[in-house]
Structure 1
C-alpha cells in the first residue's frame, strides 16, 4: 500500500519497503541577510589606494609649485640684478658723458676768454689813442673814430659774456672755483677804460695764474670722470 503523503503517517513496514529515488540534489538557499561587512571591506580596500594616489598627486603638485616659485624668484632676482647693472652703466655713461662735455666747455670757454681779454685790451688802447687825437684836433671822437668805438664795445661785450659763462660753469664753493672767480674780477678790472689805461702786466700775470688754477681744476674733474667710468 502506498503512502498517501502528509498528513497520513508513514508506517514502518512501508518505510522499510520503500525505495527512495533521488533524481537530483535539491537546491539549498541560505539567507544570511545583506553583507555589510563585505561592502565596508571593499570600500576600505579601495579607499586606501585612492588616498595614497591623492596624497602623491598633491605632494607632486606642491613640489611643482614650489619649484616654479623658486624658478620665478630666481628669474626675478636675475632680471632685477641685470636691470640694476644696466641702469648703473647707463647712469655712469650719461654722467661721464655730461661731465666730459662740461670739462670741454669750461676749457674752451677759458681759452676764448683769455684771448678776448687781450683783444679788449688792444681795442681799448686804440680807442684811447683815437680819443687823444680827436681831443688835440678838436674833432668829434664819436664821429671820426666810430669803428674804434664799435670794436671796443664788441670786445667788451664778448669778455663780459665769457666771464659770466665761466662763473656759471664753475663751483664757487670749491677752493679752485673761488680763486677762479677772484682772478676773473682781477683781470676785468685791469682791462682799462677811457679814463684808465689797460694794465698789460697785471693782465698777463692774472692770466697765467688763471691757466694754472684752471688746469688743476679740470684735472680734478677729469679724475672724477675716470672714477665714474
Structure 2
C-alpha cells in the first residue's frame, strides 16, 4: 500500500505546519536556553576563580610589602640599639633624651619583632630559619648590654652585620618564593 497525502486545502496545511512548528520551536528554544545557561555558568565559575586568585595575589603582595618594610625598619632599629651604648652622652639632660629615644626604639623594635613573627608560617622551613636568624640578632644586641661582654666594638658590629646579612638572605628567599607564587597565580 502506498501512502498518499490527504487532499487538504492550503489553510489546512498551514494550520498543520503551524501546529507542528510551535512545539518544535518551544523544545528547540528550551534546549538552546539550557546550553546558553550552561556556558554562562561555566564562564561565571572561571571568572569567580580568577577573581579569587587575584584577591589572593593582592593579599600576598601586601604581605610581601609589609614584611619587607617591617624587616627594613627592624634592622635599622637594631643597628641603632646596637650602637646606642657607644653613643651615650655625658650631659645629664642629654642622657634623659637619649634614654627616652632608646626606650622608644626598644619599644618599636619589640613591636616589629611581634609583627614579623606573627606573619611567619611556623610550618614552613624558610620562615623558621628567618625566625631563628632574627632571634640571633636580638640575642646579639641584648648581649652588648651584659656586664661581662668582652668583645670589642668592631667585633661586635662585624658579628651584627653577619647576623643581619643572614636574616636578610632568609627574608629574600621567602620574598622571592612568595613573588613566584604570585606570578604563577597560586
The TM tier, using the shorter chain, reads 0.7 to 0.9
What CA RMSD, in Å, does the superposition of the two structures yield over aligned residues?
2.8
**Corresponding residue of 1:66:** 27
TM-score (norm: length of structure 1): 0.65
> 1:99-178 residue pairs with structure 2 within 5 A?
99-127=60-88, 145-178=95-128
| Number of the residue aligned with 1:86 | 47
**1:172–1:181: 8 Å Cα contact kept in structure 2?**
no
CA distance in 2, matches of 1:162, 1:203: 18
- Tell me the number of residue pairs that the alignment of Structure 1 and Structure 2 aligns: 171
Shift of 1:63: 0.8
Which structure features the higher share of helix residues? 2
Report the 3-state secondary structure (helix = DSSP H, G, I; strand = E; otherwise coil) of the residue aligned with 1:190: helix
Query: Equivalent of 1:206, from 141, 163, 169?
Result: 163
- Is the CA contact 1:106–1:166 (under 8 Å) kept in the aligned structure 2? yes
- Name the CA distance, whole Å, in 2 between partners of 1:106 and 1:144: 34
Structure 2 residue runs without a partner (length 5+): 1-6
Deviates more, 1:62-71 or 1:144-153: 144-153
Distance between the aligned counterparts of 1:226 and 1:60, measured in 2? 54
Aligned-partner Cα distance in 2 for 1:125–1:171: 36
In structure 1, distance between residues paired with 2:87 and 2:104: 14
Q: Does the residue aligned with 2:87 lie in a helix, a strand or coil? A: helix
**Whose RCO is larger (CA < 8 A, sep 6+)?**
2
Question: How far does the alpha carbon of each residue in 1:95-140 deviate from its partner, in whole angstroms, 9 at most, with x for none?
Answer: 111111111111111111111100111224434xx6xx79xxxxxx
Shift, 1:85, TM fit: 2.3
C-alpha separation in 2, matches of 1:144 and 1:78: 74
The 1:75–1:144 alpha-carbon spacing in structure 2 relative to 1, beyond 3 Å, is closer
Which of these two proteins has the greater Rg computed from alpha carbons? 1
Distance 1:117 1:185, change over 3 A: same
Alpha-carbon distance in 1 for matches of 2:32, 2:136: 68
2:4 alignment counterpart: none
